[in-house]
Amino acid sequence: FFVADEAFPLKKYLMKPYPRAALTDEQRICNFRLTLGRKTVECAFGMLRSKFRIFDGPIGCSEKVVKPIVASACVLHNYIRKSEGVAYKPSLPKLKGSDENVCHRIVDKNLKTAKA
C-alpha cells in the first residue's frame, strides 16, 4: 500500500485519511496514524534528499535501477550517521535550520487533533 493525503483519489493500493466531517473515534485515530506514517516517510525522504542530490528531481533510470539507488542511499545515510556517532532512534528526526523539529510539531498537532 501507499499512504497519501486527502488530495489523492482513493484506490485499492492507496490508503488515505477519512474525510474530516463527523468522524468516529476509530476514524480519527486511523487518520492520525496514517498521517503520522506519511509524515515520517516524508521526513526520512527529506533527509535523504538533503544529502544526495540525485533525489532533487526525477531519476532518469528504469525502476530496476532506481531501487538499488534508493537502497544504496539509505545504507550510506545510515553508515554516515553511525560513523558520526548518531545513534538510531525510532522517532522522528530533528532537522537543522529553520526546519528544526518540524516533524515533531506536525505530530504534536495531529496527536492533539486525534484526541479531540
The torsion angles phi and psi of 2, rounded to 5 degrees, stand at -110, 145
- How do residues 6-39 score in pLDDT, each as one tens digit? 888 889 999 999 888 888 989 999 999 998 999 9
Element (H, E) at 3: strand 2-3
**pTM for the full predicted model:** 0.60
Mean pLDDT highest for which of 52-56, 104-108, 109-113?
Answer: 52-56
What is the spatial distance between Cα 40 and Cα 33, in angstroms, rounded to a whole number?
10
Extents of the domains making up the chain: 2-115
pLDDT in tens, 49-104: 988 999 989 999 998 999 999 999 999 988 988 888 776 555 544 444 444 444 44
* Cell (9 digits) for 88: 538510531
Under DSSP, the state recorded for 23 is: -
Separation CA 95–CA 102 (nearest Å): 7
* Cell numbers for 68: 538499488
